[in-house]
Amino acid sequence: MAKTVLEKIWDDHVLAVRGEDEYLLYVDRHLTHEVTSPIAFENLRATGRRVRRPDLTFALMDHNVPTTDRTLPVRDEYSREQMRALARNAREFSITLFDYFSPWQGIVHVVGPELGLTVPGITLVCGDSHTSTHGALGALAFGIGTSEGEHVFATQTIWMRRPRQMEVRLEGSFKNHTTAKDAILYVIRELGTGGMIGHAVEFRGEAVKKMGVEERMTICNMAIEGGARTAIVEPDEKVYSYLDGAPYAPADEDWEDAKRYWDTLKTDNGARFDKSYRLDVSSLEPQITWGTNPAMCIGVSERVPEPREFEDPAKRRMVERALDYMGLKPGQRIEGTPIDAVFIGSCTNARLSDLVMVARLVKGRKVASGVRAMIVPGSMLVKRRAERMGLHRIFLDAGFEWRNSGCSMCIAMNEDRLGPGERGVLTSNRNFENRAGPGSRVHLSSPLTAAASALEGRIADPRKYSLASIDELELEWASPWIERNIIKPLEGG
Amino acid sequence: MPEPVRRIVGKAAPLEMDDVDTDQIIPAQFLKVLSRKGLGKYLFYRWRFDEEGRPKEGFVLDRKEFRDAVILVAGRNFGIGSSRENAVWALMDFGIRCVIASSFGDIFYGNSVKNGLLCVRLEEEVVKRLRSEAAKGGLLLEIDVEAETIRLPGGETINFKLEPNVKRRLLEGLDEIEATLSEYGERIRAYEARMERFKMPRQTATPLE
């Protein structure tokens, strides 16, 4: 029978079926962080249980870490306590921890793939909804809650209903400064925040094939904002080269075995999907959200909606409420709206290729005065690699802050936030009310749109800006671990 | 370990809103806790309190007639967004035992089951009707998990459907970890014995610096 890539991985990990629709899956990798884990560890202690497979479990600090100077004390006492608790728990349960000071610290969904903890064909879980990101490498990855996390700690398994399957085909090729982020924003805009509920999404099609692994992470990351249970892309040579030499990825003969297995992880011709959606990305324009959920999105040249366009009174009220919260007038153009801040960061768009995009747009240009513009690399390794390329000089010259890694303004659990009523263009994934701080007004966009907006101090169309070339290193992002990338001296450095 | 959930009887409160995400149910600043107790006071925090933490007037659950509600009748896509289980803990600590909606965020739904918070999916029209009934104040519902029914004051009964495993779990309130290990321990060990080396993380890795 023809199978999808998801079904192949699913079937490989099913240990038991209970009742009509409940499957026990083995979990090959469990990633955990300081915010959703403490109560799970507490319960393990209370019940006298151990972590069954500490060798398959990895912890790191990302959600509430400061992104400022790491030699300074962590001021927020609650953040500090959660970080300490994770360090204690990792020690007590013998789990590898990438702590605040680790050169491998970063956002869990950036670090996992980067270190080769995430590889094709494995099941992976993490107590964070954006775990779908790891599907970009062909892993079957689920965001889970704290109780489920405790179950995984103790049993290395998870009970799951089999998700229905949906294919999202992205065809054509990106033009004119549109990116993977614009595509996924558009898909959510079309399907709504509940459009993928109950489904695992496989991203397929010409445009997905042509994407780099990091762009695939962007679309898989945000599938959850359309309600998807997870997302996946067939692994290919690009994924292999992304992982080649990564410290936790298989090596030597294991690497050869792995590739032979990964080659089988393709969706067969004739495999069935419960739902299908197709988008030609060629005619897409840069997208930006205007409202308080990711589906409230328009093209950067469009106008925000008018409540009276909506027949359904509940919809109309929602639009009114969102416009009011966002401080926008019905029917106004989004472009040109003055902003207070720009944030380039998060598990959606803070990998090296995202930073290169921003650098190409802002090189030799200046952030508008009065705009607070911040770049928070997805991991400390991304930061170091960017610095090897000299990108930080471009950012600093342009007037950006160049921070250390963490979730930062995307969830505003550290000091990085917007003040009440402040408006920001963020490359993150959620624009909910109060998301970036109480009263914050968040517009989600691609790194290019955010960068252009930083330059103008207003929401801006990135298509006006030419992209500078950086240098020949650009071609060598494939793996952070290939030797020439690590030892090559910087241009002018 | 959750208590068994068999019957829920109590007042229903209407939450007239679609797409209520878990950031609204409990904001991220209240995730910095090391215990799940006492989260009820942060439930729907931004809708109930201003920036200085002073109570705002008028949120439905703070109104006199709904303060003791145990059932929340919401809209579409309740509990979408972040995986924070704190959303479920906050609802339960506040006294909510059941949420009725036409659809739920997947992770929220799973978290609810684990904690014994009943999530009932009904047709949008039915949810709307219940919500407007509840809005009048004092709507008492009687929910029977075993029979999968909601009884209205007039004697009318609405049927709902739970997945068999969800129903069983609610009725039994079992310690799932114990059950998994005792019933399936053998299969877990068998998988571990056949797990290919290339599926495991290489063990030698340590940071370069």
Task: Show the tokens assigned to A135.
Answer: 């599907």
Q: Does B84 touch chain A (CB under 8 A)?
A: yes
Give the per-residue pLDDT at A486.
43
Q: Is residue B41 part of a domain?
A: yes
Domain interval for residue B34: 7-174
| A15-29: b (≥16 Cβ within 10 Å) or e | bbebeeebbbbbbbb
Q: Quick check: is B58 in a domain? A: yes
Query: What confidence score (pLDDT) does residue A5 get?
Result: 98
Question: In angstroms, what separates the C-alpha of A258 from chain B's closest C-alpha?
Answer: 6
- Using CB atoms, pick whichever of A38, A47, A225 lies closest to residue B34: A38
In the stretch 32-61 of chain B, residues with CB closer than 8 A to chain A read: 32-36, 46, 51
Listed as ranges, residues in chain A with pLDDT below 50 are 472, 474-475, 478, 483-493
Say whether B35 and A39 touch across the interface (CB within 8 A): yes
List of residues 6+ apart from A454 with CB closer than 8 A: A342, A362, A367, A368, A371, A373, A398, A400, A425
Q: Give the CA angle between residues B132, B64, B112 to the nearest 5°.
A: 65
Q: Does B177 sit within 8 Å of A116, measured CB to CB?
A: no
* CB pair distance less than 8 Å for B164 and A20: yes
- Predicted pLDDT of residue A480: 61
B136 interfaces chain A, CB cutoff of 8 Å = no
Instruction: Give the ranges where chain B is alpha helix by DSSP (H).
Output: 22-25, 45-48, 86-94, 106-115, 124-135, 164-172, 176-194
- Give yes or no for A121 touching B (CB within 8 A): yes
Other CB atoms within 10 Å distance of the CB of residue A73: 6
The reply to whether A229 touches chain B by the CB within 8 Å rule is yes
How many domains is chain B partitioned into structurally? 1
Domains of chain A in start order, with CATH, are 5-276 (3.30.499.10), 335-464 (3.30.499.10)
Q: Which parts of chain B register pLDDT below 70? A: 1, 204-209
Distance, C-alpha A318 to centroid of its chain: 27
DSSP three-state, residue A102: coil
Who among A121, A146, A412 is closest to B28 (CB)?
A412
Q: By the 8 A CB rule, do A286 and A462 touch?
A: yes
Q: Around Cβ B57, how many Cβ atoms within 10 Å?
A: 7
- Phi and psi at A16, nearest 5°, equal -160, 155
A218-A221-A227-A233 Cα dihedral, nearest 10 degrees: 80
Chain A residues in contact with B84 by the CB 8 A cut-off are: 36, 145
Q: Does B201 touch chain A (CB under 8 A)?
A: yes
Q: A304-323, pLDDT tens digit by residue?
A: 999 999 999 889 999 999 99
Amino acid letter, A280: D
pLDDT tens for residues B63-112?
999 999 999 999 999 999 999 999 999 999 999 999 999 999 999 999 99
**For residue A412, what pLDDT is reported?**
95
A404: helix, strand or coil: coil
A window 442-481, beta carbon within 8 A of B: none
Is residue B50 a part of any domain in this protein? yes
HSE-CB for A177 with a 13 A CA cutoff: 24
- Choosing among B1, B198, B204, which should be mutated to test the A contact, i.e. which has the most A CBs within 10 A? B198
Q: Considering only the beta carbons, identify the residue of B81, B84, B200 that sits closest to A36.
A: B84
Distance CA A203, CA A208 (A): 7
A114 touches chain B (CB under 8 A): no
Distance from CA of A311 to the nearest CA of B (A): 16
Instruction: Mark which residues 153-192 of B lie under 8 Å from A by CB.
Output: 163-165, 168, 176-177, 180-181, 183-184, 187-188, 190-192
Cα B19 to Cα B13: distance, rounded to the nearest angstrom? 17
Chain B CB contacts of A55 below 8 Å: 200-201, 203
Distance from CA of A121 to the nearest CA of B (A): 8
CA A346, CA A128: separation in Å to the nearest integer? 13
Q: Which of residues 362-391 of A touch B (CB under 8 A)?
A: none
- Does residue B92 lie in a domain region? yes
DSSP 8-state class, residue A29: E
**Closest chain B residue to A12, measured at CA:** B191
Write out chain B residues lying below 8 Å of A26, CB-based: 188, 191-192, 195
pLDDT of amino acid A20: 79
Q: A142-180: b or e for each residue (b if 16 or more CB lie within 10 Å)?
A: bbbbbbbbbbbbbbbbbbbbbbebbbbbbebebeebbbb
Whole-angstrom distance, CA of residue A249 vs CA of residue A260:
15
Q: Which of A227, A248, A412 sits opposite B201 (nearest CB)?
A: A248
Interface size A-B, in CB pairs within 8 Å, comes to 210
Q: Verify whether the Cβ–Cβ distance A63 to B31 is below 8 Å.
A: yes
Does residue B47 form part of some domain? yes
Judged by CB atoms closer than 8 Å, whether chains meet at B187 and A16 is answered as: yes
pLDDT on residue B34: 87
Nearest CB to B106: which of A13, A197, A412?
A197
Chain A residues with CB under 8 Å of B165 CB are 18-22, 159, 161
Query: CB distance from A59 to chain B under 8 Å?
Result: no
A38 at the B interface (CB within 8 A)? Answer: yes
- What CATH number is given to the structural domain containing B121? 3.20.19.10
Nearest CA in chain A to B79: A227
Q: Are B2 and B173 in contact (CB under 8 A)?
A: yes
Q: Which residues of B touch A148 (CB under 8 A)?
A: 110-111, 114
Residue B200 belongs to a domain: no
